[in-house]
């Protein structure tokens, strides 16, 4: 909470296990099994396992939040043989957010009341600049699956200022 309070700690971890993920386009063709070699986009099939971590600490208007996401590897069959298969490695990202809500706990805000209610935030998405790695049966990355093409932004740093008017 507020000034002089004990603060707040949050923690959550979630594990999702996909038992089935199939799509029927229409009667006739076989259904697409996204857990077993089919895909609907350029980032592979559906991962069987996903883990999400959400944690944060806030005290006296100052806080930090950390979010991490991981998914298991997937594969996409491109033909009748394993030579036509693509492997999408397991993938993790970490996001960090630091923020301060300016209030009477800061002397410079007490001296400049117009700053009250201002929040300054710095966030870093994809903190470790993780990129999805895709390889074919030969162990090379096909041109259209180069990491910078799948995720052109990589790590992003943002600074924002928000002001509430009372």
Cβ neighbours of 117 (radius 10 Å): 15
Q: What is the pLDDT of residue 82?
A: 62
- pLDDT tens digit string along 124-148? 999 999 999 999 999 999 999 999 9
| CA pair distance 106, 33, nearest whole angstrom | 56
Is residue 86's pLDDT more than 50?
A: yes
Query: pTM for this one?
Result: 0.82
Strands 91-101 and 156-163, by their bridges, are unpaired
The SS3 of residue 31 is: coil
In this prediction, residue 1 carries a pLDDT of 47
Residue 101 has pLDDT above 70, yes or no: yes
- Say which residue, 80 or 91, is predicted with more confidence: 91
Per-domain boundaries in the chain? 8-163
């Amino acid at each position: 909470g507020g000034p002089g309070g004990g603060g707040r700690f949050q923690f959550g971890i979630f594990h999702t296990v996909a038992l089935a993920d199939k799509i029927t386009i229409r009667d006739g063709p076989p259904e697409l099994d996204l857990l077993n070699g089919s895909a609907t986009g350029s980032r592979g099939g559906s991962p069987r396992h996903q883990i999400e971590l959400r944690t944060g600490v806030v005290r006296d208007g100052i806080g930090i939040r950390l979010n991490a996401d991981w998914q298991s590897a997937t594969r996409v069959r491109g033909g009748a043989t394993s030579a036509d298969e693509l492997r999408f490695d397991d993938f993790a990202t970490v996001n960090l957010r630091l923020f301060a809500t300016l209030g009477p706990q800061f002397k410079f805000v007490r001296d400049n009341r117009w700053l009250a209610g201002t929040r300054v935030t710095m966030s870093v998405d994809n903190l470790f600049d993780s990129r999805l790695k895709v390889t074919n049966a030969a162990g090379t990355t096909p041109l259209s699956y180069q990491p910078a093409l799948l995720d052109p932004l990589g790590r992003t740093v943002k600074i924002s200022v928000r002001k509430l008017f009372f």
